[in-house]
Structure 1
Amino acid sequence: MTQNIFIKNQVFQLHHLGGIFWKQKSLLLISDVHLGKVSHFRKFGAAVPRKAIHKNYVLLDKVVTDFQPFQICFLGDLFHSYLNKEWQLFENWVAKTPAEIILVSGNHDIIAPEKFEQLQVKVFSEWVLDDFLLTHHPEEREGLFTFCGHIHPAIKLQGFGRQRLKLSCFFKTKNQMILPAFGEFTGTHALQPSKEDEVYAIVEDAVVKV
């Protein structure tokens, strides 16, 4: 289930897995997948199930299938650290994905750009497209609306009976939308919205404005 929003007369669909589809451009935005993180932690003795390595690719396939975009733009932290054995899985995923793939580098993207370019993946430090800025770190720039990641935003909710929930979310301010972390093996950071902010929480297979 998706949630449609309108920004600068453009339609954006928020997906419950954490991606945003820009309808007019057929462009899928995804942030903070952190591929390779599971293998990185397992290498140093963390008890992380091996099957978690493949979960991100299953989720990527799901969101790509749902939208069938012409382009996919990863808004930084696509890979968690240096090359490891998950790179081959990424190569295989790129080879079978028909969309053009673009990476806007994040602070964790320390793999040489040449490695991505060998796979026909374009790498930029930022991307300005029409009236929109696509970047990793939150940044407000005059005249542009920003899509970004990095924060891994979440919202804390309290229900009846003192139940408390912490849910990943899309966090929208006047000129910026922070995407949730797409990766399965990532943490979250709770944000406190102001009255002017809009929060779209991910609740199981739905996106709900709260």
Structure 2
Amino acid sequence: MKFQTIQIQNQTFLLHPTGAMFWKEKNILLIADLHLGKISHFRKHGSAVPQEAILKNFERLDAVLETFTPSKVCFLGDLFHSFINNEWILFSEWVSRTKVELLLIVGNHDIISPLKYEEIGIKLGLELILDNFLLSHHPEEREGLFNFCGHIHPGVLLEGLGKQRLRLPCFYQKENQLILPAFGEFTGNHILESTKKVKIYAITKKEVILIN
């Protein structure tokens, strides 16, 4: 897989095709909107989502951790989609074999008791400030800070000469903010406006591409 390397305030960030972002100087992996449990939730209510899709989230997590070997993973909210279901067991098993520090910045979907996360060794917070960077779930604008966030599930709509249309997830960077794409399977995306003041890094299955 090919990723994009970008510089923000003299720090180096690697944008990965899974939607994860690696902060090189801090050795931290940032992941937004995993929405574990969503597939099981859909299946319970009759949606024809293949059972195998559940394992893809964990395969993606393992793959990106193997690529970057971070010392910490920071989930930027909406780690688990709703109430506990059978995917919590898979997640607990994944945590037990993952030898890195795990932090959850609580999002609007994170309604599971904090005690459950603490039981399996995950720290929780409402936000995190590192140097001049603010890590949050919802997009925030705060003077003097560059914001990394999720929540929006940003996407971009590409149109070809033959009127073909391709909808892709993306990293969406503004002057003082970068919104990460949703990491999880079957999370969908929200098309954001492309302007001269933003940089859009579209994601394919194999690479991250700056398109404007």
Q: TM-score, normalised by structure 2?
A: 0.97
Could you tell me which residue of structure 2 aligns to residue 130 of structure 1?
A: 131
Structure 1: segments with no counterpart, 5+ residues: none
1:170 is paired with a residue whose SS is strand
For 1:194 and 1:106, locate their aligned partners in 2 and report how far apart those are by CA, in whole Å: 28
Could you tell me which residue of structure 2 aligns to residue 63 of structure 1?
A: 64
Q: Deviations over 1:23-56 (max 9, x none)?
A: 0000000000100001111111212111111110
Q: Which moved more, 1:35-44 or 1:22-31?
A: 35-44
For 2:4 and 2:170, locate their aligned partners in 1 and report how far apart those are by CA, in whole Å: 12
Identical pairs, percent:
57
Q: TM-score, normalised by structure 1?
A: 0.98
Shift in Å at residue 204 of structure 1? 2.2
2:152 is paired with a residue whose SS is coil
| Partner amino acid, structure 1, of 2:11 | Q
| Partner amino acid, structure 1, of 2:36 | L
Q: Deviations over 1:87-125 (max 9, x none)?
A: 110011001111100000100000011111111100001
For 2:86 and 2:204, locate their aligned partners in 1 and report how far apart those are by CA, in whole Å: 32
Quick check: 1:48 aligned with 2:46? no
Provide the aligned length of Structure 1 versus Structure 2. Answer: 210
Could you tell me which residue of structure 2 aligns to residue 181 of structure 1?
A: 182
Please show how residues 38-187 of structure 1 align to structure 2 within 5 Å: 38-187=39-188
Q: Deviations over 1:157-200 (max 9, x none)?
A: 11121111111000000000000000011111000122110000
Structure 2: segments with no counterpart, 5+ residues: none
Aligned-residue CA RMSD (Å): 0.7
For 2:199 and 2:140, locate their aligned partners in 1 and report how far apart those are by CA, in whole Å: 17
Q: Deviations over 1:39-92 (max 9, x none)?
A: 111111212111111110001101111000000000000000001111110011
1:160 is paired with a residue whose SS is coil
Please show how residues 4-15 of structure 1 align to structure 2 within 5 Å: 4-15=5-16
Q: Which moved more, 1:28-37 or 1:46-55?
A: 46-55
Could you tell me which residue of structure 2 aligns to residue 22 of structure 1?
A: 23
Could you tell me which residue of structure 2 aligns to residue 199 of structure 1?
A: 200
1:32 is paired with a residue whose SS is coil
For 1:104 and 1:138, locate their aligned partners in 2 and report how far apart those are by CA, in whole Å: 12
Please show how residues 25-36 of structure 1 align to structure 2 within 5 Å: 25-36=26-37
2:162 is paired with a residue whose SS is helix
| Partner amino acid, structure 1, of 2:45 | F
| Partner amino acid, structure 1, of 2:71 | F
For 1:80 and 1:204, locate their aligned partners in 2 and report how far apart those are by CA, in whole Å: 23
Deviation above 4 Å: which 4+ runs of structure 1? Answer: none
For 2:205 and 2:104, locate their aligned partners in 1 and report how far apart those are by CA, in whole Å: 27
| Partner amino acid, structure 2, of 1:136 | H
| Partner amino acid, structure 1, of 2:153 | H
